[in-house]
Amino acid sequence: MKRTTQIQPTWCPGCGNFGILGAIKQSLDKLNLQPHQLTVVYDVGCSGNMADFIYSYGFHGLHGRTLPVAAGIKLANHQLPVIAIIGDGGCYGEGLSHFISLARGNHHILVITHNNYLYSLTTGQMSPTSQKGTKTPSTPSGSIEEPFNPLASAIINHATFVARGFAGDIPHLASLIEQGLNHQGFALLDVLQPCITYNKNMTYQWYRQHIYDLQKQNHNSGDKKTALAKALETDKLPVGIFLQKKKPAYHQQIPGFPDTALAQQDISSIDISSLL
């Protein structure tokens, strides 16, 4: 189905968001998902502007509050694929407790995190994933904190699909998105996203020199310890699927949870007068 919009992107020319959007469109077309068969929840930030360019059900949430909204939508209609689009600040900073909680519960959503190691919409301040010593407007002398490791945190908190992609490789990223959407449970796809305006060190060329494909090295994505060891690598950045395990999703473990989606149930005969 042709998806068009009259709204023009406000991203900087060369922004990694263009590659992520292209990969999302590729994967949705390959899965043949129609607009009414998908819901995307957007966070605040540069990544949230993607709400203007994806033709589907959508919800633009508050900063860092995207994941609980996505989980609620999935519980209301568990037959509907749900994608959460969020930046590294919103997901691993303001929304960290939601991120860990949903991973532990194995909520059936795909989280696509745009990780550029900065709060770029607000002129490039330090984010939770910024490397120690990074100089930004909020850390002019260099950041003191050690960086948060989202992949390792997802693995030790029982996420069942943990992957990393690169915005500069659309076909590979589209394949990871497709696999994440087909996974039954909590799926994290952390995307290495160059910010050409505020992160002058981690350019497209820098990433291409520092990443390698896990699957080309016969990585065993079913082994948690191996996945964690790969997630802790810093000299080189592995991309691909770190971990994938089969486990019942959150809604499948709720006692008495109906087979029919809550959104599709008849409520005309429900009497709430006793509650009032």
Model pLDDT, residue 206? 97
Q: State the Cα torsion 42-48-51-54 to the nearest 10°.
A: -90
Model pLDDT, residue 6? 72
What CATH code is assigned to 22-264? 3.40.50.970
The C-alpha atoms of residue 250 and residue 247 are separated, in whole angstroms, by 9
Query: What distances in angstroms separate CA 202 from CA 60, 165, 193, 230, one per listed residue?
Result: 29, 15, 9, 20
Model pLDDT, residue 1? 43
Query: What distances in angstroms separate CA 8 from CA 18, 20, 55, 84, 237, one per listed residue?
Result: 12, 16, 14, 22, 33
The C-alpha atoms of residue 111 and residue 77 are separated, in whole angstroms, by 17
Model pLDDT, residue 5? 63
Model pLDDT, residue 7? 76
Domain boundaries of the chain, sorted by first residue: 22-264
Q: Is the dihedral of CA 26, 28, 33, 37 positive or negative?
A: negative
- Please give the structure tokens belonging to residue 251: 């809604």
pTM over 0.85: yes
Residue owning tokens 């959407």: 181
- Please give the structure tokens belonging to residue 75: 């519980």
The C-alpha atoms of residue 64 and residue 40 are separated, in whole angstroms, by 15
pLDDT along the chain (276 residues), means of 10: 66 96 96 95 95 93 95 95 97 97 98 96 94 95 97 98 98 98 98 96 96 96 98 96 97 90 86 91
- Please give the structure tokens belonging to residue 209: 């020199």
